[in-house]
Amino acid sequence: MTTDAARTEAIALKDKGNKAFKDHDWPSAVDFYSQAIDKYDADPAFYSNRAQANIKLEAYGYAIADASKALELDPNNVKAYWRRAIANTAILDSRAALRDFKYVCKKEPNNKDAKLKLAECEKMVKRIAFLKAIEVGDPPSAFVDLDIDSIQVPDDYDGAKLGDKMTQEFINDMIERFKNGKQLHKKYVYQIIKSVKDIVYDEPTMVEMEVAPKTQLTVCGDVHGQYFDLLEIFRLNGYPSDDHAYLFNGDFVDRGSWSTEIILLLYAFKWLRPKYFFLNRGNHETDDMNRVYGFEGECKAKYNEKVFKLFSESFSALPLATLVGKKYLTLHGGLFSDDKTSLDDIRKLNRHQQRQPGQAGLMMEMLWTDPQTAPGRGPSKRGVGLQFGPDVTKKFCDNNGLEAVIRSHEVRMEGYEVEHNGKCITVFSAPKYCDTTENKGAYINIGPELKLDFHKFDAVPHPDIKPMAYAQNSLMSMM
């Protein structure tokens, strides 16, 4: 095939990719752009377009690589600089983003949006430097000076009252209150966070549970502040009860604009039924992510800064994994950089010594890694963590007597995906993610026989509040 013919075919594939992108089908867009590159690898637009699709898939490491390749082919490609800046912002590398935003402003001095993004990026760099400067090794507990008993709830408060114990009546009232755009009184918020923090702090790093006869467990993936879609799960599948346990596998907050409603409701269920309701920490239950992706801003807007600090401390107390029936290891991200890592290593991990996951180590890998189709391990498409292949998953399951690993952390267009010859299962429970991705949500029901029963569901309408409404800057709105 001549070069001209290959380029013509590649352009046709790029056009299909553009159509898929317009339809919010990001995986298909990436696939078409990749096919175009296979046909003809000298057009910077193919890489730049794929970078944008990868941003939508949160594959920020891939997006940075694609934008950099586009710039190799065309050093003046302003779109590629812009997209690399956005991807670097997403992985919290604000200094790298700053360099690219400066180039965009230099090339397009009248671009008001670029000037705004540059100014916001400069603020982020300064804020990160400030937080690092005031960081202390072992900060005092946010609960130390919290005198909940002294806080008075006014007589005209129009919600249910909460005593020393959580009740189903209070939860029912809370659900309706949140649907109507109302908040809880801050005393009740403090009570819920404190009670759940104490419960989960005493749980092991890897909770081990069985599915008792005549009961079932439902495993849900990321819900990301999509409160009305969470209620749809309960409507379709039933609310938590003593014979219907739930496990939420991380990423309760950020992005969606009802994160406080979701986490307070999940915490309320945990307080009411601590032995039948389970919460694994996700990579978005961390300070760095909450500052950028909206949860900190939402806490401050709806309540106060104290609430965010209390949630932050409670997040660091959450377990990192749940072992279901000795067959399914459920954790947010995935597997490890070392084949010798075992369930005993997770059991022994003292998560209380390290509040935030950092850039390396067992906790980071449990929260951040992703599966890949190729054997072995590879660099992360996110720019954080790593990827693991089917051979890694098989070896881990064989060595630890597991049937499969259940994880979340990634959008799946059908809500779930069974990979690695059935050994790696991804479940994602935020349909129409961020109001832009045309994906379904899913959850998994597991009965006493430990068979997996997959259920898909569609997004439901919600009030007209956009995702990332409480993010501290508009940089994130570009993703």
- The percent of residues above 90 in pLDDT, for the chain, comes to 86
CB atoms closer than 10 angstroms to residue 385 = 25
For 306-326, what is the mean pLDDT?
98
Query: What are the phi and psi torsion angles at 10 (to 5°)?
Result: -65, -40
Tens-place pLDDT, residues 113-122: 889 888 888 8
What are 456's strand-pairing partners?
A: 442
Give the integer Cα–Cα distance in Å for 270 and 262. Answer: 12
Q: Answer for the pair 224, 256: CB distance below 8 angstroms, yes or no.
A: yes
- Please state which CATH number belongs to domain 148-478: 3.60.21.10
Three-state DSSP state, 21: helix
CB atoms closer than 10 angstroms to residue 140 = 8
Q: Answer for the pair 330, 207: CB distance below 8 angstroms, yes or no.
A: no
CB atoms closer than 10 angstroms to residue 37 = 20
For 445-473, what is the mean pLDDT?
94
- Please state which CATH number belongs to domain 3-134: 1.25.40.10
Helix (H) or strand (E) holding 94: helix 94-107
Q: Answer for the pair 442, 229: CB distance below 8 angstroms, yes or no.
A: no
For residue 433, what are the contacts with CB-CB under 8 A and spacing of at least 6? 224, 226, 255, 411, 439
For 385-407, what is the mean pLDDT?
97
Which one is predicted more confidently, 359 or 419?
419
Give the integer Cα–Cα distance in Å for 399 and 133. Answer: 44
Q: What is the pLDDT of residue 473?
A: 59
Q: What is the pLDDT of residue 412?
A: 96
Catalytic residue numbers read 284
For 361-377, what is the mean pLDDT?
97
Q: What is the pLDDT of residue 243?
A: 97
Give the integer Cα–Cα distance in Å for 281 and 39. Answer: 42
Give the integer Cα–Cα distance in Å for 112 and 109. Answer: 8
Tens-place pLDDT, residues 55-77: 999 999 999 999 999 999 999 99
- Whether 3-134 and 148-478 share one fold: the answer is no
pLDDT at 232 over 80: yes
Tens-place pLDDT, residues 144-184: 989 999 999 999 999 999 999 999 999 999 999 999 999 99
Q: What residue has token string 């403090």? A: 190
For 239-258, what is the mean pLDDT?
97
Q: Terminus-to-terminus CA distance in the chain, angstroms? A: 37
pTM for the full predicted model:
0.92
Q: Answer for the pair 372, 387: CB distance below 8 angstroms, yes or no.
A: yes
- Return the closest-CA partner of residue 321 out of 263, 267, 268, 249: 249
pLDDT at 138 over 80: no
Q: Answer for the pair 294, 263: CB distance below 8 angstroms, yes or no.
A: no
> Which tokens belong to 120?
């916001």
Q: What is the pLDDT of residue 200?
A: 98
Q: Please, what is the average pLDDT of the chain?
A: 94
What are 322's strand-pairing partners?
A: 207, 330
Pairing of β 377-379 and β 370-371: unpaired
Q: What residue has token string 């549970």? A: 209
Q: What is the pLDDT of residue 354?
A: 83
For residue 209, what are the contacts with CB-CB under 8 A and spacing of at least 6? 217, 245, 278, 322, 323, 324, 325
Give the integer Cα–Cα distance in Å for 371 and 373. Answer: 7
The CA distances from residue 290 to 260, 277, 311, 312, 399, in Å, are: 12, 24, 10, 9, 36
Sketch the domain layout of the chain as residue ranges.
Answer: 3-134, 148-478
- The percent of residues above 70 in pLDDT, for the chain, comes to 97
Q: What is the pLDDT of residue 471?
A: 86
For residue 199, what are the contacts with CB-CB under 8 A and spacing of at least 6? 270, 271, 274
DSSP 328: E
SS (H, E, C) 262-288: HHHHHHHHHHHCCCCEEECCCCCCCHH
Q: Answer for the pair 415, 427: CB distance below 8 angstroms, yes or no.
A: yes
Q: Quickly list H helices, 135-275.
A: 168-179, 186-201, 227-237, 259-272
Pairing of β 370-371 and β 244-248: unpaired
Q: What is the pLDDT of residue 464?
A: 96
Which pLDDT band, with edges at 50, 70 and 90, does 127 fall under?
Answer: confident
Is residue 449 classed exposed, middle or buried when 0-12, 13-18 and 19+ CB atoms within 10 A define those classes?
Answer: exposed
Q: Answer for the pair 50, 34: CB distance below 8 angstroms, yes or no.
A: yes
CB atoms closer than 10 angstroms to residue 418 = 14
Q: What is the pLDDT of residue 376?
A: 98
For 421-441, what is the mean pLDDT?
97
For 102-110, what is the mean pLDDT?
94
Name the range with the highest mean pLDDT among 145-149, 381-385, 390-394: 390-394
